[in-house]
Amino acid sequence: REMVALSAAAVMLVNRRVSSKEVIGTVDGNLLLLLAGLFVVNAALAQTGMPQKVVHDLQGAGVDFANPSILFLVASALSNIVGNNPAVMLLAPFLPHAANTDALGAALALGTGFSSNLIIFGSLAGIIVVEQAKDRGVKIGMGEFCRAGVPVTLLCMVLALAWIALLT
């Protein structure tokens, strides 16, 4: 994966039709810094042992991560607290290996993917859209984003739960 990405970047940089300066100019440094920061914070959080403690506390309270619907709801909530990518990275180590992997995979992917449209910072995509709109003179506030995001998110989550129910 990494070699393919580096090879594609190398081809773009040595391409005579598009200058290297143009290619590098399209890189969003702030976004790369945000992504790197997410991985650093996520790794640091994982090393504190807090995610493991929270998961064990949730399991002690009866939350069953082997139940795809429960995983879907937990992933959805966590996605809007820490973002969809970090939510997947935090939950993935705690998924049971012997359970229905198709349903659990769908629950994790759909829960973090669909719920992250609820609020701007629920996903990197929301942040990117708002930032790029701002660069083009369009201001999208939290209220505007939520006016579209809440109904779309709720509809998608209902459909996703129906799909997950079909998989189980």
Q: In the structure encoding, which two tokens stand for residue 97, read together?
A: 């290996």
pLDDT exceeds 90 at position 84: no
Tens digits of per-residue pLDDT, 60-81?
898 888 899 999 999 998 888 8
For residue 137, what pLDDT is reported? Answer: 93
**Percent of the chain topping pLDDT 70:** 99
Can you give the pLDDT at residue 98? 66
CB 63 within 8 A of CB 74: yes
Taking the alpha carbons at both ends of the chain, their separation in whole angstroms is 32
Instruction: Decide: 150 and 124 in contact? Cβ < 8 Å.
Output: no
Alpha-carbon distance 136 to 138, whole Å?
Answer: 6
* Stated pTM of the model: 0.71
Alpha-carbon dihedral angle through residues 160, 61, 54, 38, given to the nearest 10 degrees:
10
Mean pLDDT of 159-168: 89
Q: Per-residue pLDDT averaged across 81-110, rounded?
A: 83
Q: How does 64-93 read in b/e, with b if 16+ C-beta sit within 10 Å? A: ebebbeebbbbbbebbbebbbbbbbbbbee
Angle at Cα 32 formed by Cα 29 and Cα 35, nearest 5°?
Answer: 150
CA 104, 2, 116, 149 torsion: positive or negative?
negative
Categorize the per-residue pLDDT at 161 as very low, low, confident or very high, splitting at 50, 70 and 90.
very high
> Is the pLDDT at 15 greater than 80, yes or no?
no
The domain segmentation of the chain, as residue ranges, is 49-167
pLDDT of 155 higher than 90: yes
